[in-house]
Amino acid sequence: MRLIKAIRKFKRLEKIEKKLMLNIYIDDNGPMLMQIFHVKLAIEWGWDISKKHQDGYLIVVDFNKNKINNELNFERFTKSQLFASFEKYEFIKRDSYFYHIHPSIKAKNMQSIIYQILTDVYDYQDKPFSFALR
């Protein structure tokens, strides 16, 4: 399945399955690069999400010491144009950042944001990655 189809399926199914997440990985067996899920799921987990983000989706990137190239990825992240659009969220002694996406975003625009993160933060031009709906 292509990423755009996975995003469309995610947006359609998350209305039924409230705990659905779209996870992006380096490859089939590699570490997770980012997660996408509905804001309401984060609120259910006890995240202190601002009132302006009560609906829509979150793209979460997580920087922890166990990830490959973590320091380099984090440096690219802080220098990217995307960084200003992310909000920091600290939990489980890791640095996580989330990007809020309006609920009416088109799948193609969500895909563009994901590709921009893959390119700007993880330096993934033309490298394989995988994704899964969970």
| Share of residues in the chain with pLDDT > 90 (%) | 42
CA distances from 87 to 12, 16, 60, 73 (A): 26, 27, 10, 17
Domains and CATH numbers, the chain: 3-128 (3.30.1460)
**Per-residue pLDDT at 126:** 72
Mean pLDDT over residues 89-93, rounded? 63
In terms of pLDDT, which residue wins out, 28 or 88?
88
**Per-residue pLDDT at 91:** 64
**What single-letter DSSP state applies at residue 3?**
H
What is residue 46's three-state secondary structure?
coil
The CA distance from 79 to 19, in Å, is 32
Of 90, 76, 81, whose CA–CA distance to 113 is shortest?
A: 81
**What single-letter DSSP state applies at residue 86?**
-
